Amino acid sequence: MIKIFVLANSEKYGPYTLAKLRLHVKSGNFNETNLCCYDGENWIPIHDIPEFREELPPPPPKVVAKDFTRRGFLLGDTADERIKAFAVYSALLGFIGHLLLWFSFTNGWIQIKGETANLLLSPFSALYTPFSVLLAYEAYQLIREIPTSFSNSVGKQFEIVTLLVVRDIFKGLSEIKFSDDWSLDGNLNLLLLECLAFLVLFYTSMNYRKFNISLMISTMEVENLKTYVKSKRIIAQLLLLTYIIIATLAFSGWLIGVFNGQGDADRKIFFLDFFTVLILADILILLIFYRYSDDFYALARNTGFVLATVILRVAIGAPGVSAMVLFMVSGVLGIAILRITLHFYTSPASLDKRNA
């Protein structure tokens, strides 16, 4: 082991090991221009000692922003602006058209029978159409988030389900039967529970919007991170194709049902199949993340996110009260995972301040 003596202010200090000398220089007790002797023969500046400077790891490869921000075909900002404009105009036209149908049905100008008539019981029912269009756009927004942030895409899932519950509330308002006594209609009881579920889901989605945990520092190597992001981009493109197919089949099937008197509103339409595929995509992303990272906290966090989305999927297919309870359980679980993650995460900047 190397023994080093240092000459400072005409005084000789030591002997020191190389590691101990580095600490003294770092703390300011010596500087790199002080003379030292490590071979018992010559005095040389400290910075000339072989191996005094610790070898740094090779620098990471050049990082190009587009490797991490590019979303893929039909998922970029330009496409999003066009699709958003189309969705807004479609929602407005759909709302006006639905109101005209309700007015015509109420005045007996048109005859509609079967379950389809449930969509024309009240002017509140007209809100079903614009909300359906906006929900379809939100599903597209969810797919756009997948390449850039897994946690943000989970937050989008809560936003979609929040709007689904709101749509059910507006639909339920037209089915409530009021009475003069103290008894509560079954539809009113369910409506109250739906409002509670809406508050829980809305609070959950706002938490995900406020706390962007995608900004947390990752321990993943740059090349592995590039591959991981690229894999998510490919999954998003496949999910977009699946989204188009499911939406087309769901809308055409619903139209056929309308003409056959069986076209009532149901949150299972499109969203049951879409969330099934979405869960498979979430699990695939989680497995890819396992492949490139050994960060236990991130793995546990993402696994919890997938669990919350699985509960959402089950809730969409569940009836009545069971669905609302599952929605609230998923929301509480999502908030708990988010809060625990934020509580125990310490940013590098905080570590720097603590060590200063």
Q: What is the pLDDT of residues 199-233, one digit of tens each?
A: 999 999 999 888 766 555 556 677 888 888 899 99
The answer as to whether 60 is a domain residue is: no
Give the DSSP H/E element, type plus range, for residue 6: strand 4-8
Q: Same domain, yes or no, for 12 and 97?
A: no
Q: Same domain, yes or no, for 155 and 236?
A: yes
Q: Same domain, yes or no, for 167 and 44?
A: no
Q: Same domain, yes or no, for 36 and 103?
A: no
Q: Which residue in the block uniquely carries the two structure tokens 């056929």?
A: 256
The answer as to whether 59 is a domain residue is: no
Residue-wise pLDDT tens digits, 72-129: 888 999 999 999 999 999 999 999 999 999 999 999 999 887 888 888 888 888 888 9
> How far is Cα 111 from Cα 107, in angstroms, rounded to an integer?
10
Orientation angle between helical segments 296-317 and 320-344, nearest 10 degrees: 170
3 state DSSP class of 5:
strand
Q: Same domain, yes or no, for 275 and 153?
A: yes
State the total domains in the chain. Answer: 2
> How far is Cα 308 from Cα 25, in angstroms, rounded to an integer?
52
Q: Same domain, yes or no, for 175 and 107?
A: yes
Q: Same domain, yes or no, for 221 and 169?
A: yes
Q: Same domain, yes or no, for 218 and 84?
A: yes
The answer as to whether 140 is a domain residue is: yes
The answer as to whether 53 is a domain residue is: no
Alpha helices in the chain (DSSP H): 18-27, 66-69, 77-106, 128-145, 150-173, 186-210, 222-259, 271-292, 296-317, 320-344, 348-355
> How far is Cα 325 from Cα 281, in angstroms, rounded to an integer?
25
% of the chain beyond a pLDDT of 70: 87
Q: Same domain, yes or no, for 14 and 154?
A: no
Give the DSSP H/E element, type plus range, for residue 45: strand 44-45
The answer as to whether 311 is a domain residue is: yes
Residue-wise pLDDT tens digits, 135-194: 999 999 999 999 888 888 899 999 999 999 998 888 887 777 666 665 666 678 888 999
The answer as to whether 63 is a domain residue is: no
Range of the domain at 346: 71-351
Q: Same domain, yes or no, for 237 and 100?
A: yes
User: Binning pLDDT at 50, 70 and 90, where does residue 356 land?
Assistant: very low
